[in-house]
């Protein structure tokens, strides 16, 4: 999801990776890989959901649209 004038960025807005920046306006509380994510998961006793993708991967865009924006 791209910026539409009203949506707020998630934590990925501060990343350098062009791929991660593509997801900075997803309505998902994404955390980049790092201690902050691990600590939050530990404190909340929740598993880590790791999403791996590639900017030209068709199925990655389908998953984003159907799972992260819908």
Say how far apart CA 2 and CA 42 lie, in whole Å: 31
Evaluate whether 42 touches 31 at the Cβ level (below 8 Å): no
Domain assignment of residue 2, yes or no: no
Q: Does a structural domain hold residue 24? A: yes
Write the pLDDT tens digit of every residue in 13-70. 999 998 899 899 988 899 999 999 999 999 999 999 998 888 888 988 898 888 888 6
12: pLDDT strictly greater than 80: yes
pTM for the full predicted model: 0.74
User: Which residue in 5, 39, 53 sits closest to 65, CA to CA?
Assistant: 53
Q: Is residue 6 part of a domain?
A: no
Instruction: Establish if 1 belongs to a structural domain.
Output: no
Number of domains in the chain: 1
Q: Is there a domain that residue 22 lies in?
A: yes
What pLDDT score was predicted for residue 63? 86
Domain boundaries, position 41 = 11-68
Q: What pLDDT does residue 32 have? A: 94
Give pLDDT, residue 70: 65
- Tell which wins on pLDDT, 18 or 5: 18
CA angle 28, 16, 43 (to 5 degrees): 45
């Amino acid at each position: 999801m791209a910026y539409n004038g009203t949506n707020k960025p998630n934590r990925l807005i501060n990343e350098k990776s062009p791929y991660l920046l593509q997801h900075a306006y997803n309505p998902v509380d994404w955390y980049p890989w790092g201690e902050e994510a691990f600590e939050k998961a530990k404190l909340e006793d929740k598993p880590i959901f790791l999403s791996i993708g590639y900017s030209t991967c068709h199925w990655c865009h389908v998953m984003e649209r159907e799972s992260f924006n819908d």
